[in-house]
Chain A
Amino acid sequence: MTRIERRNLFLGLAFISPWIVGLLVFTLYPVGASLFFSFCDYDVLQKPVWVGALNYRDMFTDEVFWKSLYNTLYFAAFALPLGLVASILTAVLLNRAVAGRSVLRTIYFLPSLVPVVAGAVLWWWILNGRFGLLNHALRIVGIDGPQWLADENWTKPSLVLMSLWGIGNSVVIYLAALQDVPRSLYESADIDGASAWTKLRHITLPLISPVIYFNLIMGIIGSLQVFAQPYVMLGGGGPNRSALFYAVYLFQNAFQYRQMGYACAMAWILFLIILFLTWLATHTSRKHIYYAGQ
């Protein structure tokens, strides 16, 4: 190692030292500790007691655990694809509209600026069975709307609906990606007489596919950890625990039942699920992602 190299190594490490400390204290230590706790009986007050895989075995027979996992996957299975299609569609339309594009973009983006708790409180009111905006609107078309948050069949659809209100963030991302698609491609497609659908299918979607993939992965990670909305709107999980989400049940175990070991085990299972789904998404989409310059 030359003198310059040694100097650079020293300087580089000095500059990233805040990150190194953060990595050790706020990432590596917690990861290790949580893995250890997941094999322990631990209530914070007393020292953790090693119990082997007991927490993991308990999970298999814990009906509430399965219910929370089901609820979360149900939510993700609807919120993710619906959000993906809605935001791409909105972005494609916005990209074509010339008049008032920036005003429209701001309107679509506005809801995703509303702080999560404020949004949850607002939707709690909108979804009110008697005086909520949604049922007022349904009454106009002659439908007697359900008791959204008080009916176990409707709690999860309620949360999916609410999540669609917040797609503005991805709309902005897609819009930026769409503006990078070269105009010339559409122009030559026009000469060939391609239809709007063909252009979308064979030019637009392939060219923005890396961004779709990125949003999909972020969506998987985010939607499996949804916490604030169900916690604020449905507290302990709503009627018959129909909206008890994974992260909420995990929080309850950790900070209400003081079963920290069990909560850690749940967190690791969540991590594995996220890794598996990310791998699955990567594996199945690999052929469909187009990277410019490759």
Chain B
Amino acid sequence: MRRYIERGLVHLLLLAGASLFLLPLIWMLSTALKPIEQTMSIPPTWIPYQYFVTRGGESVPVRLGESIDVPSCVVRRKDTGARLLVPRSALSNGALRQSTPQGVETLVPIEVLKDIAASPDTVWVRVMPENLPSSEWDVAEVGNIVRRVAPRWENFGRAIAAMKYFPAYLMNTLLLCVLTVVGAVFSSALAAYGFSRINWPGRNKVFILALATMMIPFPVLMVPMYCLFRWLGWIGTLRPLWVGSFFAGAFNVFLLRQFFMTLPKDLSEAARIDGCGEFRIFWQITLPLCRPALMVVGLFQFMFTWNDFLGPLIYLTDQKDFTLALGLQFFQSQHGGTEWHYLMAAGLLVALPIIVLFFFTQRSFVEGISMTGVKG
């Protein structure tokens, strides 16, 4: 009995925690699918909705304006042509009584378009048809208005349009991802092979040096690297962001070496006896056996490049060269603070590919992360 209570409690705690972790993401999606006015309601709306009015047998999406609770008229001013909503008491003989700020009363000639008999039973509401200029508002009976769930998927397209260079950001990011993944996997596999499958004097001492370089914080390297790339004339190009990956980062080498060490020695010995060259052993025997580990390195590198913010911020100068991460931050600094729905849609677009990638490669991911921690 106690066991069951305990187990129930554990599940309850975990579920509560899990909903706390999930809620921000649901909120993000919910915001991304709302029209702007629903992002700013108290209490919040979770499910985006839309009001519709049936007109001529057709359902027209509308926004609600103020409700009309006194007998009123929709009128058109004959002089300016503007549509007005006025209480019936303000009309006399086809004219609208208006008083100027000085208190002088004037009569404005008008044409009555619609007479609204508001009563306790039928309340009218001013409605704004979507996608029409706001001067085209109309009125509708409350009974004729329906509210339906209506996620605005078009927000994603609008966010892309508002970001201006989104396709360029995406292409730059993908290009960098491909280059850095190829560079990191290839170069760190070579180096890891040299650190594990060939026995040369001083190997372990050099490897400890490689591990030690991981301690150096990026800010220490940041300024001289900037100067180096500036001297090469590479500032404002993508080159500083991928060239480095072809020179075996210590972390990736470390990961792969761990894996290479587990392969049996006889494997390469047999090939060597057959007169196989070392590079062929590496390329044709070792690498195919290491696919899972190479996958982990490739995935981590992809994630790193996709997420990197400081690098692009330092090296890129032209908006057309930005990556998604930098482009999103740029968008936030330009449009943030009001257009929450577009900002969240843009954020989701940047996050979604990584999340999708994760679901397809979950096993490598989890194995890789466990590998970094447990065998570290």
Contacts and interface: CB of A to CB of B under 8 A. Distances in A.
Contact of A44 (B41, B227, B343, B370): B227
A121 B247 CA distance: 33
B324 to A, nearest CB: 8
A136 B14 contact: no
Contacts of B369: 169, 172-173, 176
B217 A267 contact: yes
Report which residue of A19, A44, A170 has the largest number of chain B beta carbons within 10 angstroms of its beta carbon.
A19
Interface residues of B, number: 96
A63 interface: no
Contacts of A105: 366
B325 A115 contact: yes
Contacts of A165: 21, 24
Contacts of B11: 97, 99-100
A49 to B, nearest CB: 15
Contacts of B5: none
B314 A255 contact: yes
A30 B224 CA distance: 5
Given A8-B199, A232-B329, A131 B221 contact: no
B42 A12 contact: no
B340 A11 contact: no
A158 interface: no
Size category, A interface: 35 or more
Contacts of B219: 225, 247, 250, 263, 266-267, 270
A118 B351 contact: yes
Contact of A18 (B24, B246, B303, B374): B246
A65 interface: no
B24 A225 contact: no
Nearest to B213: A27
A9 B309 contact: no
B307 A116 contact: yes
A115 B223 contact: no
B51 interface: no
A18 to B, nearest CB: 4
Interface string A98-120: 01100011111111011111111
A221 B219 CA distance: 12
A268 interface: yes
Given A31-B220, A33-B224, A107-B18, A19 B247 contact: yes
B156 interface: no
A14 B224 CA distance: 27
Contacts of B25: 110-111, 114, 122
B14 to A, nearest CB: 5
Contacts of B309: 116-117, 227-228, 231-232
A282 to B, nearest CB: 12
A128 to B, nearest CB: 8
Contacts of B94: none
Interface string B194-207: 11001111010010
A142 to B, nearest CB: 13
B373 interface: yes
Nearest to B306: A115
B194 A254 contact: no
B278 A11 contact: yes
A180 B374 contact: yes
A28 to B, nearest CB: 9
Contact of B332 (A108, A124, A176, A227): A124
Contacts of B193: 15
B328 A118 contact: yes
B21 A108 contact: yes
Contact of B358 (A11, A113, A124, A274): A113
B355 A110 contact: yes
Interface string B29-50: 0010000000111111000000
Contacts of A109: 366
Given A108-B17, A118-B347, A173-B370, A97 B10 contact: yes
Interface string B245-278: 0111110010000000000000000000000001
16 contacts: A12-B194, A16-B195, A22-B187, A34-B222, A113-B355, A120-B329, A125-B27, A130-B42, A170-B373, A174-B373, A227-B309, A227-B310, A254-B222, A255-B226, A260-B223, A263-B222
Interface of A: 1, 5, 8-9, 11-19, 21-23, 25-27, 29-31, 33-34, 37, 44, 90, 93-94, 96-97, 99-100, 104-111, 113-126, 128, 130-131, 133, 136, 139, 165, 168-170, 172-177, 180, 210-211, 214-215, 221, 224-225, 227-228, 231-232, 235, 247, 250-251, 254-255, 260, 263-264, 266-268, 270-271, 274-275, 278
Closest A-B pairs by Cβ, 6 of them: A22-B247, A15-B194, A173-B373, A176-B370, A12-B200, A33-B224
